[in-house]
Amino acid sequence: MTLIDDQNNSPCKDNCPCMDYCPLGSALSLIGGKWKIPILCALFQDGTTRFNELKRKIRGITNTMLASSLKELEEEGLISREQFMEMPLRVEYSLTDDCRDLMPILNQLAHWGAQVHITK
């Protein structure tokens, strides 16, 4: 496993670029794809949310993509799914604690993105 270097603040260390296991690459892959960030942002801002409510809020997303993205995020441990045995069916999604730890970092990334954007 490629360790993280706190000495020089490099994302990885030693034999980086990431020849075996790269924690940075794996972290980025968790939030990759077209719709995961919008989903996480929606859940972070509004808290627990139902499927169709998410679909309304995230403009342009289809059933297929919302369902598959939610399933991936759940498998990755970033969101949790709770299903209520009612009729009509109700399913609620929310962020996990792991994902809540991630949000401040993404916020810094957003700040950086806004910064480099205006300087060009």
Partner DNA sequence: CAGAATCCGATGGGATACTG
Partner DNA sequence: CAGTATCCCATCGGATTCTG
Q: Give the separation between CA 107 and CA 114, rounded to whole angstroms.
A: 11
Does residue 90 interact with DNA by CB under 7 A? Answer: yes
- Beta strands across the sheet bearing 49-50: 49-50, 90-95, 79-84
25 binds, among a copy of itself, DNA, none (CB under 5 to 8 A by kind): a copy of itself
105 lines the binding site for a copy of itself (CB under 8 A): yes
> Which CB sits closer to a copy of itself, 9 or 83?
9
Name which of 11 and 33 has its Cβ closer to DNA.
Answer: 33
Question: Whose Cβ is closer to a copy of itself: residue 71's or residue 84's?
Answer: 71
CB of 78 to a copy of itself, least distance (A): 8
How many amino acids of this chain bind a copy of itself (CB under 8 A)? 54
Helices (H) and strands (E) in the chain, counts: 5, 3
How far apart, in whole angstroms, are the C-alpha atoms of residue 86 and residue 58? 25
Cα–Cα distance measured from residue 6 to residue 39, given in angstroms and rounded to the nearest whole number: 31
Contacts of 91 (CB under 8 A, 6+ apart): 50, 51, 81, 82, 83, 84
Tell me which residues touch a copy of itself (CB under 8 A): 4-6, 8-12, 16-19, 22-28, 30-32, 37-42, 44-45, 57-59, 77, 98, 101-117, 119-120
